[in-house]
Structure 1
Amino acid sequence: MLAAERRDHLLGLLTREGKIVAKKVAAGLGISEDSVRRDLRDLAAEGLCQRVYGGALPVSPATADYTARQTVAPDGKRKVAALAAGLVRPGGALILDGGTTALAVARALPQDLACTVITHSPTIAAALLDHPQAELFLLGGRIFKHSAVACGAAAVEAAQNISADLCLLGVTGVHPQAGLTTGDAEEAAMKRALAARAADTYILASSEKIGTASRYRVLPWEEISGLITDAAPHDPVVEQLKVLGVEILPAG
């Protein structure tokens, strides 16, 4: 099989099965695992898959830059945001992550809602300036422009001095085996710091993120209260997450 044919075969497997197991592919094609791994390295370099131990997973579309992500699945993000906004109680304290889905949550909050919103995202804070009864706390640090959020040691330290009833956290990948992932190590650390300061943490995940993976793990499943998604209830990945004990909040 030519290299181009192997490439098409691997991409087809990702689409059909949602994963590539290098050992299985090598046996099926009668080639070495090293050859499969080289092909996967090439595909990963082009942003077409996320390499993991033993093979590869679909890459998340949420790894694009912040401006481009605003045009990805806007309807799904609005559905997720509408459900998530309903979890915020009057008088409560909310830690709201950055990113395009979190921005949709900020816009979905009732303008007359009296609450406290803590965020490390300047765009989230700006979106809530016209909410007269929402008290805003902006955590500072080095700005990670990909998601328009503050990250790094200063931001993590600031997060350690706050607490909230609820944390709404965004990720770029949701996968039963790879877990909850994102594309930057410092951003992953910041998300962990935020989640650790809330009584309940819910993950915001529109359907295009379900079944995909990024490089850095954010949280294990047992440390979240639930997953908010507009993915179909009988989506195979969603079904696997239910088996793992993850509470799914459908935002259909």
Structure 2
Amino acid sequence: MLAAERRDHLLDLLAREGKIVAKDVAAELGISEDSVRRDLRDLASEGLCQRVYGGALPVSPAVANYRARQSVAPDGKRKVAAVAAGLVRPGGALILDGGTTALAVVHALPRDLPCTVITHSPTIAAALIDHASAEIYLLGGRIFKHSAVACGAAAVEAAQNVSADLCFLGVTGVHPDAGLTTGDAEEAAMKRALAARAADTYVLASSEKIGTASRFRVLPWEEISGLITDADPRDPVIEKLAGQGVEVLKAR
């Protein structure tokens, strides 16, 4: 099989199976695992897969910069945001992650809802200005421009001094095996720090993130209260997560 044919085969396998196991492909095609790994490195360098130990997973489409992500799956994000906003109770305290889905949550919150919102996103804080009954606490630190959020040691330390009823967390990848992932190590650490300060943490994930993975793990499944997604409940990934005991809140 020519290199171009192997490439097409790997991409087709990734689309059909949702993962590539290098040793299985090597056995199937009668080639060495080194050849498969070399092909996967080439695909990963083009942004077509996320390499993991032993093979590869679908790459998340949510790795683009903040401005570009605003046009990705806006309807799905609105559906997810509506369900999330419904969990916020009057007088409650909410830790709200940055990102485009979190911004949709702000738009879904009633403007007269009395609540406290803690965020490390200047974008989220600014969007809440017109919510007259909302108290806004902005956590500072080095701004990670890709997601328009504060990260780093100062931001993590600030997060350790707050607490809330709920945390709404954004991720770029949701996969039964790889877990909840994002593309930057410091951003992943910040998300863990935020989640640790809330009684309940829900992950916001529109359907394009389901079954994909990024480089850095954020949290294991047992440390979240649930996943809010507009993905089809019959999606094999969603069915597998539900079978593993993950509470899935359907945003339809």
Return the TM-score normalized by structure 2: 1.00
Aligned to 1:199: 199
1:111-130 equivalence runs, <5 A: 111-130=111-130
1:1-252 equivalence runs, <5 A: 1-252=1-252
Cα deviations across residues 166-211 of structure 1 (Å, max 9, x unaligned)? 0000000000000000000000000000000000000000000000
Offset, 1:236: 0.2
| Aligned partner letter, 1:134 | A
Secondary structure in structure 2 of the residue aligned to 1:167: strand
Cα deviations across residues 113-147 of structure 1 (Å, max 9, x unaligned)? 00000000000001100000000000000000111
RMSD: 0.4
Offset, 1:243: 1.1
Distance 2:209 2:58 in 1: 10
Distance 2:149 2:183 in 1: 14
Distance 1:190 1:167 in 2: 13
Distance 2:184 2:245 in 1: 27
Distance 2:4 2:155 in 1: 45
Distance 2:124 2:227 in 1: 21
| Aligned partner letter, 2:86 | G
Distance 1:217 1:45 in 2: 20
Distance 1:70 1:100 in 2: 6
Cα deviations across residues 233-252 of structure 1 (Å, max 9, x unaligned)? 11100000011110000001
Where in structure 2 are there 5+ consecutive unaligned residues? none
Distance 2:84 2:107 in 1: 11
Q: Displaced runs of 4+ in structure 1, greater than 2 A?
A: none
How many residues align? The count is 252
Secondary structure in structure 1 of the residue aligned to 2:241: helix
Distance 2:165 2:75 in 1: 27
Distance 1:104 1:174 in 2: 19
Secondary structure in structure 1 of the residue aligned to 2:130: coil
| Aligned partner letter, 1:152 | G
Where in structure 1 are there 5+ consecutive unaligned residues? none
| Aligned partner letter, 2:223 | E
| Aligned partner letter, 1:70 | Q
Secondary structure in structure 2 of the residue aligned to 1:162: coil
Cα deviations across residues 53-83 of structure 1 (Å, max 9, x unaligned)? 1100000000011111000000000000000
